[in-house]
Amino acid sequence: MPVDLLEAVKILKLQYDQLSPTTVDGLLNCYSADAIFKDPFQEIQGHPAIKHIFVKMYEQLNQPEFIIREQLLGNQQVAFLWDFQFSMRRWNTSPKSFSGVSWLYFNDAFLVTKHHDYWDPAAGIYEHLPLIGPVMRGLKSLA
């Protein structure tokens, strides 16, 4: 168990660096049992639900990888600025990436209690889908 926030962040970053279908449980060890995870598509709570998100990610994407570029720490909170690289298993299988921020809240045991991801689903996902992608790219060009 980490002794301070810096150690907890170091362990969490290592888990994300080594994330694979077989290491999701190790990542969950950094989260409280009732942790909340929120992104542009959902808000869920607890280890089983969080695990399901990561397992599903590996089922739908080829070689998904989070690259944490920066971190900001303060008052039991951490922000990770990251790039997410992947390719789709179906449709356009060329490599893709987008950037985002994870805002993490830690409890007194230095476990993540809330994980809130901020990223643009239009640029991250919708623009790469076969039917909606051209529409989204067209709308973006008009802005």
The predicted structure's pLDDT at residue 131? 55
List, in sequence order, the alpha helices (H) in the chain: 5-17, 24-28, 47-60, 121-124, 132-142
Question: What pTM value is reported for the model?
Answer: 0.84
Cα dihedral 77, 65, 97, 53, rounded to 10, equals -70
Sign of CA dihedral 41, 31, 115, 24: negative
Residue ranges of the chain with pLDDT lower than 70? 91-92, 121-143
The predicted structure's pLDDT at residue 121? 66
Q: Could you tell me the two tokens for 137?
A: 């790219």
The predicted structure's pLDDT at residue 55? 96
The predicted structure's pLDDT at residue 41? 87
The predicted structure's pLDDT at residue 136? 52
As to burial, measured by CB atoms within 10 angstroms (0-12 exposed, 13-18 middle, 19+ buried), residue 123 is middle
The predicted structure's pLDDT at residue 81? 98
The predicted structure's pLDDT at residue 140? 56
